[in-house]
Amino acid sequence: MTDLSKKRIVVTGGAGFLGQAVLRVLRRRGVADDQIVVPRRREYDLTVESHAERLYETARPDVVIHLAAEVGGIGANMEHPGRFFYANMAMGLHLVEHARRRGLEKFVHTGTVCAYPKHCPIPFREEDLWNGYPEETNAPYGLAKKAIFVMLDGYRREYGMKSAVVVPVNLYGPGDNFDPRSSHVIPALVRKCEQARLAGDPQIVCWGTGTATREFLYVDDAAEGIVRAAEVMEEPVPINLGGGMEIPIRDLVGRIAKACTFDGQVVWDASKPDGQPRRGLDISRARSLLGWEPRQDFDAGLIATVAWWREHGGR
């Protein structure tokens, strides 16, 4: 087991939603602030190889936890498929190669549930990752992230490089991204319900039919799983991190409306895509390899998310 309290750790994306939660977990593990480096894009554009190389030279990490990503909801994926593929592929490619060159002790890669095939059997099992093509609207992003799984496996077999791979489902919680241009489903719906409630609007319009299902993981639970993988894994075996409950989007909207005390009508715009038909993860591998499982009650997590938005973004 790797004692992270004795390591210098680079956390890419450490200033973001998931990154801040990972930093909280690292600090609870005894990692001092001066042992953690959080590269910011204004200094290190990790899609540029020379910037990734310079990060290793200046930070001198023992462990890299790679969280940085260019990502968004269905709309953002449809608008930027080329950019999402290039940015995520380039960041992973440069960071892994220069980790090898510098003899990094361990590289932790955060994948995505978007890597799974569109029509994957429920629950998603890691063995099924390659049994089909991802859902089309997020395939460029999902495939770019998944290609790094293969790279890490190859580097482990050829160079002996230690690594870990986790595959989180959709995240949510306080501090999420509520930007309507790039947010995922829960923050987008919270913002929509709150704005309608405050304006006294009688209805909200939601994309799709509401029949697609999703699974959600509270950000602090995800962070615990990622740090646990950094501690105990040395092989890049993909490990699902899921919330343990598959929920139809139609039911999700009802739960969010209740948390927001919005009692208006929900209108479904079926001309817009549903995305992947179903998502629900098998987390038995995380239980056995990491000793991890989610702990946050879903509805309580929604209430905390709404409260955060009201305090920080909904004024």
- Mind telling me the catalytic residues? 141
- Residue 163, by phi and psi: left (phi above 0), alpha (psi -120 to 50) or beta? beta
Cα separation, 168 vs 219, whole angstroms: 10
Burial class (CB in 10 A: 0-12, 13-18, 19+), 101: exposed
Residues 31, 10 contacting (CB under 8 angstroms):
no
Cα separation, 110 vs 166, whole angstroms: 5
